[in-house]
Structure 1
Amino acid sequence: MTAAWLADVAERTAAAGLHRAPVARQPGATEINLASNDYLGLSTHPDVMAGAHAAIDTWGTGSTSSRLVVGTVQAHVDFENDFADFVGADAALMFSSGYLANVGAVTALAGRGDLIVSDTGAHASLIDGCRLSRARVVVVDRGDHHAVRRVLSERTEQRALVVTDSVYSIDGRLAPLRELYAATRATGATLLVDEAHAIGVRGPGGRGLVAECGLAGSPDLVVTAVCSKSLGAQGGVVAGSVLLRDHLIDHARTFIFDTGVNPAAVGAAHAALRVLIANPHLPDRLLAGARRIAAAVGADRPESAVVSLIVGDPAAAVAAAQECRDRGVLVGCFRPPSVPEGTSRLRLTMRADVDDATITTVAAVVRNALGMAGAA
């Protein structure tokens, strides 16, 4: 029965043009990669790679247990302290991934008898955290801070949590953080902001949209972030007050029951953070490049590193992405359920180390692929 069900689901998924298969990158590959989230190009930076090697030399290859047994090494603590300072928080806690950081934070901050307000742009990790929390969940339109305030004002629950991405991952648009925070403060709620696509991209020196909005270190504000995008490594982080950090250590199941981030990833993330601090111009270079490539392919002016090109039909989007790959350019291809029906798209993610000649090459390849897909 299980095999028959799996085969039926696979057939229906393929018929809808939604089957996916990982494509392995190969050593020495020469494709231009604008599909990754390595926004600052730090995953291959010599200092970042050296940071990973040094951590292995000091601590070995694995954390060997959960953080609360013997899986915490001094490297975790040092990175957490420096990351908290960077984003203007009092404390931070590192998780094994950004996904686990969001699930752990949401489920530790809200439960049965509480309210969570999310929006239609929330990342899957926030959605899953909402579902697992057992709280009542209300979903509003993306960025609709008026609806958020109304729901919070009309609630019967004493405690409420609002969750949002700061930079929406699909199209790179910005959430109205100032208005959302004002709504939560006025109604006694807490705001959790996922800065996964904002750290290293927005804010002074890449400190994120929370800092750009003047909200860093504000009360009843929780920041989550990742080390796998601008920092070119692996892991997730939750930043806020010391009380928050202590609460997560005691109550976040994805921290308590998971093996700690391996030392190499911690060493790489910390080295990347130092590179970013020493080169505060990198986010400006990144955004300038994103705007150049958006103009070259006829996209709207981007607010982040993401350039989104809607194709519509999922099969056409896959064909366009494959045409780009065949011509040496890797681009993202997003289909339902990652995006709403009828909005399958190519997603270009700019890097700070991409030069103008490369932008010209990419633009020509993408325009041609969109033309062949009938989306130009």
Structure 2
Amino acid sequence: MLLDQLKADLAELETRSLKRVRRSLETPCGPHARVDGREMLAFCSNDYLGLAAEPTLVAALQAGAERWGAGSGASHLVSGHYSVHDELEARLAAFVGCERALCFSTGFMANTGVVPALVGRGDAIFADRLNHASLVDGALLSRADLHRYPHADTATLERLLATSGAKRKLIVTDSVFSMDGDVAPLAALLDLAERFDAWLLVDDAHGFGVLGPQGRGALAEAGLASWRLLYIGTLGKAAGVSGAFVAGEADVVEWLMQKARPYIFTTGAPPALAEALLASLALIEAGDARRRHLASLIDLFRTELRLARWTLLPSRTPIQPVLIGDNAEAMAVACALWDEGLWVPAIRPPTVPHGTARLRVSLTAAHSAHDVRRLASALNTLEGNP
């Protein structure tokens, strides 16, 4: 029976240490949290600048709700688009140096909307093998031919582009890879896009607000600009609120507004969120002190950690993965940390390739040096190298 098979499949996930567990926070997002009734020091969130519980954003959200109400009432192209949405999109476009921006309710919706709007049957997508699941799903939804090149391997990508006869080509990459923390070779990718007449879509979910001057993102850090570029920024990570946007040349964004199904066929985000995001953008722009503190914590963690069997992957970003390998061992280490009051997620397949289970340590500007030393010490002890 169908239900019996489903129960057996669930049991198999448990046996292979692949079953996911959802925990419930009882406090606002932040390093010091109460989770499932326990006081924990958390290294889980993508709230890189510590803005999710920032009083300024809370006040802006409250004022937005008082001004605009709780919901938008309809999709953006019917009657659910408000003047504050226009203000936010204009501000986002200017912030990342593009002509125009279009907001989506989530980053997943942005990626699954933008990719199929740009390419379809008979076209070709060239995607980094470690791209986020939303980019993979967007590629599959497009029905274009999908070519996945080895992680950051621009030589293989060049060969694939050179042998492609597709009318339209799209290169798709994360900027900061969410489970490895490394940064894509963006300048080389744009060079290939120009040589082979391709679009380049960059998902800067984990770079927006953190990288580049004033947190303007990975493309600004690399000094890149082109009409071929489509920039995806996520607003629920460093920005501390919710949503996402795509930015680029004005006509390209207009086309996306006309064709991106997750934008067209969903209720618009509450306008109060746009008020909070406008306040967030101001804090990001003025947030050099937060970024300096975050950078110092990254350096401290990498200095304090002394591993022999496990591997701290190379990363200059707030994502600091500790590669363990075996699923069961990764779970055991995460459970041991939990018992010590440290909340660090164990990441296993299919999120990462088989044999590369890891702890995904996420540092934020809301952490202290003491917090980071506590985690590094616990990891050193658990690995047997105190």
The interval holding the TM-score normalised by the smaller chain is over 0.9
Scaled by the length of structure 2, what TM-score is found? Answer: 0.93
1:83-119 Cα deviation digits (max 9, x unpaired): 1111111111110100100111101011011010001
| 1:43 matched residue in structure 2 | 52
1:33-80 Cα deviation digits (max 9, x unpaired): 211000000001111111111111111111222111111122221111
| 1:56 matched residue in structure 2 | 65
Pick which of 349-358 and 259-268 moved more: 259-268
In structure 2, give the amino acid aligned to 1:167.
Answer: V
In structure 2, give the amino acid aligned to 1:281.
Answer: A
Distance (Å, rounded) in 2 between the aligned partners of 1:244 and 1:284: 35
Distance (Å, rounded) in 1 between the aligned partners of 2:288 and 2:98: 19
**Alpha-carbon distance, 1:231 to partner:** 0.4
Equivalences for residues 135-174 of structure 1 within 5 A: 135-174=144-183
Kindly tell me: are residues 134 and 287 of structure 1, through their superposed partners in 2, closer, same or farther at Cα, counting changes over 3 Å? same
1:130 aligns with 2:143: no
Scaled by the length of structure 1, what TM-score is found? Answer: 0.95
1:329-360 Cα deviation digits (max 9, x unpaired): 22121100011111111011110122212221
Secondary structure at the counterpart of residue 234 of structure 1: coil
Distance (Å, rounded) in 2 between the aligned partners of 1:99 and 1:295: 35
**Alpha-carbon distance, 1:364 to partner:** 1.8
1:3 aligns with 2:16: no
Secondary structure at the counterpart of residue 10 of structure 2: helix
Match of 1:352 among 365, 371, 374: 365
| 1:338 matched residue in structure 2 | 351
In structure 1, give the amino acid aligned to 2:193.
Answer: T
Structure 2: gaps of 5 or more residues: 28-32, 307-311
Distance (Å, rounded) in 2 between the aligned partners of 1:259 and 1:332: 32
Secondary structure at the counterpart of residue 31 of structure 1: strand
Distance (Å, rounded) in 2 between the aligned partners of 1:75 and 1:280: 26
Kindly tell me: are residues 119 and 54 of structure 1, through their superposed partners in 2, closer, same or farther at Cα, counting changes over 3 Å? same
Match of 2:249 among 241, 244, 256: 241
Secondary structure at the counterpart of residue 268 of structure 2: coil
Asked if 2 retains the 8 angstrom alpha-carbon contact of 1:226 and 1:235, the reply is: yes
Asked if 2 retains the 8 angstrom alpha-carbon contact of 1:291 and 1:301, the reply is: no
| 2:41 matched residue in structure 1 | 32
Kindly tell me: are residues 64 and 369 of structure 1, through their superposed partners in 2, closer, same or farther at Cα, counting changes over 3 Å? farther
In structure 1, give the amino acid aligned to 2:322.
Answer: L
In structure 2, give the amino acid aligned to 1:340.
Answer: P
Secondary structure at the counterpart of residue 63 of structure 1: coil
In structure 2, give the amino acid aligned to 1:250.
Answer: Q
Distance (Å, rounded) in 2 between the aligned partners of 1:77 and 1:319: 48
Identity between Structure 1 and Structure 2 (%): 36
Pick which of 189-198 and 253-262 moved more: 253-262
Asked if 2 retains the 8 angstrom alpha-carbon contact of 1:201 and 1:287, the reply is: no
Asked if 1 retains the 8 angstrom alpha-carbon contact of 2:337 and 2:344, the reply is: yes
Distance (Å, rounded) in 2 between the aligned partners of 1:287 and 1:167: 15
Equivalences for residues 152-301 of structure 1 within 5 A: 152-216=161-225, 218-298=226-306, 299-300=312-313
Secondary structure at the counterpart of residue 288 of structure 2: coil
Distance (Å, rounded) in 1 between the aligned partners of 2:270 and 2:319: 29
Distance (Å, rounded) in 1 between the aligned partners of 2:87 and 2:158: 38
| 2:121 matched residue in structure 1 | 112
Distance (Å, rounded) in 2 between the aligned partners of 1:369 and 1:196: 32
Asked if 2 retains the 8 angstrom alpha-carbon contact of 1:42 and 1:48, the reply is: yes
| 2:93 matched residue in structure 1 | 84
Asked if 2 retains the 8 angstrom alpha-carbon contact of 1:291 and 1:302, the reply is: no
Asked if 2 retains the 8 angstrom alpha-carbon contact of 1:295 and 1:301, the reply is: no
Distance (Å, rounded) in 1 between the aligned partners of 2:187 and 2:73: 41
Distance (Å, rounded) in 2 between the aligned partners of 1:293 and 1:61: 41
**Alpha-carbon distance, 1:301 to partner:** 5.2
Structure 1: gaps of 5 or more residues: none
| 1:306 matched residue in structure 2 | 319
Pick which of 334-343 and 273-282 moved more: 273-282
**Alpha-carbon distance, 1:150 to partner:** 1.6
| 2:20 matched residue in structure 1 | 20
**Alpha-carbon distance, 1:370 to partner:** 4.0
**Alpha-carbon distance, 1:368 to partner:** 3.1
Distance (Å, rounded) in 1 between the aligned partners of 2:166 and 2:315: 38
